[in-house]
Structure 1
Amino acid sequence: MSSNILAVFNPPPQRTLNHEETMDCVPCQVMSTMFAVGFGGYLAAGQPFKFSERERLKGLTLEEFQKRNPKWWVNGLRGFGGALVIFGLVRGTEGWLWNPRKEYKKF
């Protein structure tokens, strides 16, 4: 068995993937949906930018905390979180709502 690091410098020969290898699987779809909705909800709710006791114990003031997290950064990450939530919902409903004839990988 060769190392993954060595495969970067000496890649294996290219091959054509068959249809079965490129099919989507239900656990993959569920995990990507859960991650996108969960992390997107965390960002969209603004949880990383709450001034809490932890920052106060570090000696940060509210003004310094707001300087380190400017409005454009907070709003950008909240917007990205909203986009992740939307992506997760679309990804989760893809197989039964948007593309009902989609085939999944058999186990």
Structure 2
Amino acid sequence: SSTMAPVIMGAPGQPALGEELTNSFCRTEPDIAKRFARVTFLSDNRQDIAGLMTPTLILQSTDDLIAPVCVGEYLHAALPASTYCLVDNVGHCPHMSAPGACSVAMDSFLLPWVGADASR
């Protein structure tokens, strides 16, 4: 955990975030973590999204070791109702290391459903 979490987190200027992710990994029961890792890294769910018309926001970091930009681009091409937002960020957790950019993207994506009142 202490080796992989900082690599996954990225955020070179925010070492506390790597520590936070390490602590989160260490709190997870080992059997559950093992099953989660197996499903996450060995599953191929590309067929599951075929024909999906649900509006979807794809937040993609510009530099992500786990999911490179081509993954976000693939999803955007495969999901006709998707909105693709490339966040200038290093790491796989932009919601933690670039929360402002993520918040702006989410607000913009949700605006058609919540209306102008959400911007107040």
What is the TM-score normalised by the length of structure 1? 0.24
Judging by fraction of residues, say which structure has more strand: 2
Identify which of structures 1 and 2 has the higher relative contact order when contacts are C-alpha pairs closer than 8 Å and 6+ apart: 1
Judging by fraction of residues, say which structure has more helix: 1
Compare CA radii of gyration and give the structure with the larger one.
Answer: 1
